[in-house]
A and B are shown apart, each in its own frame.
Chain A
Amino acid sequence: MTTIFGIPIQAFLGQLLLGLINGSFYAMLSLGLAVIFGMLRIINFAHGAQYMLGAFVGYLLLVNLGIGYWPALILVPLAVGLFGMMVERLGLSRLYGIDPLYGLLFTFGLAQAVEGIFRYYYGVSGNPYSVPPLLAGGTNLGFMFLPNYRGWVVVASLIVCLGTWLLIEKTRLGSYLRAATENPRLVQAFGVNVPLLLTLTYGLGSALAGLAGILAAPIYQVSPLMGSDIIIVVFAVVVVGGLGSILGAIVTGYMLGLAEGLTKVFYPEASNIVIFVIMAIVLLLRPAGLFGRDA
């Protein structure tokens, strides 16, 4: 049997794939955080809750209305995005211009309230969400067996990340966004509706989290705890990558997912802390983060 560093290649590649899938979610979530941070200068603690909300909306659509995975892929981000826009209008918009820590505290409270509501009604155990029939089964790649759905998640997350990057770097709307990040008052003076832009940005970030949630639903169990479990890891990813660059957030997300997968092969006990350890090392060597330009 082929081995790498004394480990069967199947196990090795299997864990690497698992890491790549986790990395896909880290990338999508830290991308959303970076998009929101870029415009609003707020760290969205509720990002995990919105991810959980995405999975739950998908689950409830299926259970209550019989709406399946593919329509949910459109409906869920819309719903979570609208929820985000509402949050921004009613709450966050009142916190611009004061210490950004208040934004973090507000979204922390929001995350707790949302998680609390779902815990209250659905308990803490997970609910299964089955893989859509089109993507059921797997493909034999010769060296390993790849479940189709997992392959799809990797592809979908790449599309989402690339799409968001193109939206921000290459379109007119994106240029407004980037300009408003640099100097909101000047952009407003040019007749761009900056408050609307802020609302849309937070909506977009929330929608990304919701989309990640529905993509995650068939892989992980749909549980009220899924949001708070992942958000802290994603924060560490963001500290490593720095929030200054969209591309940095994406690349760091995939890299740390893979690092986590590799650790599972060699030293499983440390797999859930390896990202934090990497964060600590990066803080020692490059305090501003790998892609950080900000102070």
Chain B
Amino acid sequence: MAETTLRNGRARSSSRLEQGLVVLGILALLAAPFFVYPILLMKMLCFALFACAFNLLLGYTGLLSFGHATFFGGAAYFCAHAVKVWGWPPEAGILLGVVGAAGLGLVMGFFAIRRQGIYFAMITLALAQMFYFFCVQAPFTHGEDGIQGVPRGFLFSLLDLNQPLNIYYFVLAVFLAGVFAIWRIVNSPFGMILRSIRENENRAVSLGYSVANYKLAAFVMSAALSGLAGAVKAIVFQFATLTDVTWQMSGEVILMTLLGGIGTMVGPIVGAGLVVGLENALATSGFPVMIATGVIFMACVLLFRRGIVGEIQARWNARRESRSGNKAHG
């Protein structure tokens, strides 16, 4: 009885701590554009949302996709084309990007979930490469030039997105909504089933769940949210290029998630911030980003597979366990 109360008390205090941290984080993001270059911040937010969406699949369903650039870059193309060529308002363009990415996710997921583990990774990589070749040849993407000069326009015909603060808070709102959606998905009964698939697929099958459908649903959701990040990025930077559909981009989002912590809520955000910040710093130094990311990749896998946030959480939990253990004995 005492044991249960203790545990409940602990759970409450830790969740209060977490809530406090989340509020602090949001406040910091609200204040950030007054201290840091907003374009860099918006890039970080777009990639953070992308990494969180990727983590929904890798961290909570246990599926490693090597093709997520398709959804990120594909949505950027759809959105940029709709806004620039068809003159759609930004919110409609973003919506098209999300729907398009979900459609691509449905197709890629349909093929990829037929195999597991490393084959799943290789299939997604191959299909993403196919989409890359499509983007190279399709006329609407304008090949190497990409779609440039995409107008930011007025959000809901009201808010002028050309104002730096307006677009920053718009991006922040999208980011928070996206992360909240992921948090809701992960902590719903649906999310629990996804986790059970990650932990033991065969057992999930034997419990009567149609694992394939759940995997496909998770894949499409992850793709749609990646698309949201990509479409918003196209509005922010006013262009969509081939860079966003390359396999390097798929690798980058894996790195962000791995570095921050696979299967943690905050990890991908931290990882994305660090990777984008590092790239930004390296861009002026002349040191090739590719070598840096490659080395970080290897170091992560060898030294701290739980990622930065994952390691902190694990140490924190271990410390608390040992403390409460002492208390119980004393």
Interface residues of A (CB under 8 A from B): 43, 91, 94-95, 98, 100-102, 104-106, 108-117, 119-120, 228, 232-233, 235-236, 238-239, 269, 272-273, 275-277, 279-280, 283-284, 287, 295
Contacts and interface: CB of A to CB of B under 8 A. Distances in A.
A249 B24 CA distance: 54
A111 B295 CA distance: 10
Contacts of B290: 112-113, 115-116, 119
B117 A235 contact: no
A232 B129 contact: yes
A277 B292 CA distance: 34
Summarize A's interface: helix, strand, loop or mixed: helix
Contacts of A105: 254, 258, 297, 300-301
B247 interface: yes
A106 B291 contact: no
Interface residues of B, number: 40
B137 interface: yes
Contacts of B190: none
Contacts of A112: 248, 251, 290-291, 293-294, 297
Contacts of A279: 123, 126
B270 to A, nearest CB: 18
Contacts of B292: 116
Contacts of A233: 126, 129
Contacts of B295: 109, 113
A108 B247 CA distance: 11
Given A91-B302, A273-B134, A276-B126, A239 B251 contact: no
Summarize B's interface: helix, strand, loop or mixed: helix
B117 A101 contact: yes
Given A101-B64, A280-B111, A120 B130 contact: no
Contact of B294 (A91, A102, A109, A284): A109
B133 interface: yes
Contact of B115 (A108, A117, A269, A283): A283
A117 B291 contact: yes
A94 B111 contact: no
B298 interface: yes
B154 interface: no
Nearest to B290: A116
Top 4 nearest A-B pairs by Cβ distance?
Answer: A109-B297, A113-B294, A116-B290, A112-B294
Given A105-B254, A116-B288, 4 more contacts: A98-B305, A105-B258, A112-B251, A283-B115
